[in-house]
Copies of this chain bind each other. A is one copy, B any other.
Amino acid sequence: MAKRKSVSIKDVARESQASLTTVSLVLNKRDWRISPATRERVLEAVQRLGYRPSRMAQGLQAQRSGFLAILVPQLRHAFADAYFGELISAIHDQAREAGYKIILEVADESYLAASQHVEIFDRHVIDGMLCMGVTNRDAYLRDFEKGDRPVLLVNNYLPGLALNSVRCDYIEAGRLAGHFLREKGHRHVGLIHGAQEVQTTHDLRRGFEGAIGLNAPLAADLLEDGLYTEEGGAEAAIRLVRRHPNLTALFAGNDKMAIGAIAGLKSIGLRVPEDISVVGCDDMHSAAFCDPPLTTVRTPIYELGRRACERLLDLVFNRAESIQEIHPVSLTVRKSVAAPRA
């Protein structure tokens, strides 16, 4: 591991018979007053020595690190998840175009106890932060309410808190699913929702309730928490149909639960969609690939991730003060919904 002594701007200056200033000016295209000859010499030296400016030194000088953090909640294995993965991928792509790098932070208990989410700003490790998978219980988000740090929630929001947010319209998502099922003739439907502490869970339910032709909220015994997981979705589905054998359709708050629900229903001898229909939400890659292919509400996660990153940088560079964006959703029809059995 031979320590390669890195070449600095000084070396370039010496080699090109120019001063530090001159080299810096040339490199930063502020060279409109530098003579072509000098510029050539500098550029040649840069080339020859393989000089690359240190980003740490530049950062120190500019008081900008060039990093953005993605904060994800503690999950079994946080990044092994298609939903988060797609967001992360999108954010990365967008950040790169802006010359920014992405760092990953997991907001687990010890992390928050040590106030790492704030320290990462104060220590100038990052210029901005995107928070994914937040819930109403994430008290640490209050630390960002003053708006003195560029922070933005991705695809969620917290009713009480004034936090920047870019998200999909989950009321409309629920409405689309409910409307589609009603049109197909379903009158007895159940809902497998995600965590109650996630605001979009409530939005989704409200939209759904309105669209299936209910004037009142869905009865509590037509709701089950599917924990956002396949396992949870499977168990929730089984509990629902055991309790209400006349159910003809289920709507799940995300595709993972929907896919789990299908597996669960099959495991107790029900056919999808012949005996019971299932609608998901997200339109993840795997939604097209389960059996039967899933009819689901498409929330444009990738596009949303890019947009969130774009807006965060607006915050970082003071091109925006505060952000609230709600993006439209649509319905992807596949094979998991049929008319109710006679």
Contact = CB atoms under 8 A, between A and B. Distances in A.
The residue in A2, A93, A103, A302 that gathers the most chain B C-beta atoms within 10 A of its C-beta is A103
Contact of A56 (B60, B77, B85, B96): B60
A77 B106 contact: no
Q: How many copies does the complex hold?
A: 2
A112 to B, nearest CB: 13
Contact of A89 (B56, B78, B302): B78
Interface residues of A, number: 62
A118 to B, nearest CB: 9
Contact of A104 (B2, B4, B102): B102
Interface in A36-87: 50, 52-57, 59-60, 65, 67, 76-82, 84-86
* Majority secondary structure, A binding face: mixed
A286 to B, nearest CB: 7
Interface stretch (A20-28, A122-130, A181-189): A122-130
Interface string A275-290: 0000000001110011
Contacts of A148: 1-2, 4
A1 B150 contact: yes
Given A54-B123, A86-B77, A289 B260 contact: yes
Interface of A: 1-2, 4, 6, 50, 52-57, 59-60, 65, 67, 76-82, 84-86, 88-90, 92-93, 96, 101-106, 119, 122-125, 147-150, 230-231, 260, 263, 266-267, 284-286, 289-291, 302, 315, 318, 321
6 contacts: A6-B124, A77-B90, A79-B85, A80-B86, A101-B125, A266-B291
Enumerate the 10 nearest inter-chain pairs by beta-carbon distance, A residue then B residue, closest first. Answer: A80-B85, A79-B85, A77-B89, A52-B122, A79-B88, A80-B86, A55-B123, A79-B89, A56-B60, A56-B59
